[in-house]
Amino acid sequence: MSQPQPGHEPIRLIVLFGGQSAEHDVSCTSAAHVLAAVDPDRYVIEAIGVTRSGEMVRAEKAQALLEAGQRPDPSGELAPLVPEGPRIELSAEVMPVAAPASAARPAGDTAAMRTVVLPLLHGPMGEDGTVQGLLELSDVAYVGAGVLGSAVAMDKAMAKTVLDAHGIAQTRWLGVPERDVADDPGAVVTRIVDSLGLPCFVKPANMGSSVGVSKASTTDEVLAALHKALRYDEMLVVEEAVVAREIELSVMGNDEVMVSVPGEIVPGADFYDYEDKYLTGSAELIIPAELPPEVAADLQSRAVEAYRALRVEGMARADFLYEDGGRGPLLNELNTIPGFTPISMYPKLWEASGLAYGDLIDRLVDLAIERHDRRSAKRTTDRS
């Protein structure tokens, strides 16, 4: 286990990666680059993996590389981490070492160090409030949104309902539960076409990285897209297709919120799909996006508004569709655990805004500690 240099206040940083969702591989790639970039002078770093079946394990191979001081250049090609090793109970790992910020921490004593968990679990069973709930019960600081913000932002249908209530502009959409498709698929297809027109996008409500997403241009394609998306979730979201620019902004903060410069994605495929995001890298990323200053400022303001409406803290990536000459910015979604791969927009946007990759991780850890300390001061009972 790597040890911080003398004179530094050490933090035990647990990087949690893998997971049971279809985005398992994305998480493993993100974790490899985070572990390569974190400052060994500030952190005692531990890697804990979640297998595809949901077992939590100590990632021995990743840990061995860290202990041997093998920290590759995060800008280079890194093999994804593999969640293999002895099985552990996460709550047992973090609860005994969660200590208040004022606690004395003898050098080299991990049991006395402040623990922060960095969840890099994209998608369901990790980004949706489930792991966040476990960490809340364990009374440990963790990076990213809390239980409520994670759950609401993850469920696209619920997030869109909340955003509509706040008057935040979005594309036209419909929520489609699985039971409706099972009862009368033809009626569902007719409702979609009549309400949204063709083409349209069909998505699982609880998934990310464009997994399970289809663009449908005919009624037959709509039906096929519904069945494809139902492999991933029992609630679906169908959205109108628009001719728009894809603009993303990185957001960070708790009470005080910072927003990056906007960036634009020009997809290499018909739309910005999984392969474009993580495999081929054929999408063109324009950072900063070529926008008038007043439009960039408006996007930043809307990103903060959505961030607060969904009760997000820590971090998120705000994705917009910008109709140039039309309705203007339309919020697509907030992603509360965005990718941290070399071609991921979240760290690239912060880098363009003056915050380097390693410094970004430090800032997120500090925000996790600040929120944990603030929330710990609130009572959960009337007893004195």
Q: What is the 3-state secondary structure (H, E, C) of 62-93?
A: HHHHHHCCCCCCCCCCCCCCCCCCCECCHHHH
Which of left, alpha, beta for 382 (phi over 0: left; psi -120 to 50: alpha)?
A: alpha
Quote the longest CA-to-CA distance of the chain.
Answer: 68
CA dist., res. 249 & res. 258, Å (int): 10
Q: Which of 57-66, 226-235, 261-270 has the highest mean pLDDT?
A: 226-235
Counting residues of the chain whose pLDDT is more than 70, the rounded percentage is 83
Give tens-digit pLDDT for 195-214.
999 999 999 998 866 788 99
Higher pLDDT, 288 or 89: 288
CA dist., res. 301 & res. 158, Å (int): 22
Higher pLDDT, 11 or 210: 11
Q: How many CB atoms lie within 10 A of CB 112?
A: 15
Higher pLDDT, 104 or 325: 325
Higher pLDDT, 61 or 68: 61
- 129 has pLDDT over 60: yes
Confidence of residue 284 (pLDDT cuts 50, 70, 90): confident
Q: Write down the mean pLDDT value for the chain.
A: 87
- SS3 at position 156: helix
Joined together, the tokens standing for residue 166 give 């706040």
What's the confidence (pLDDT) of residue 109?
A: 54
Q: What is the pTM of this model?
A: 0.87
Q: Report CA dihedral (360, 116, 90, 97) to the nearest 10 degrees.
A: 160
Q: CA Rg, the chain, in Å?
A: 21
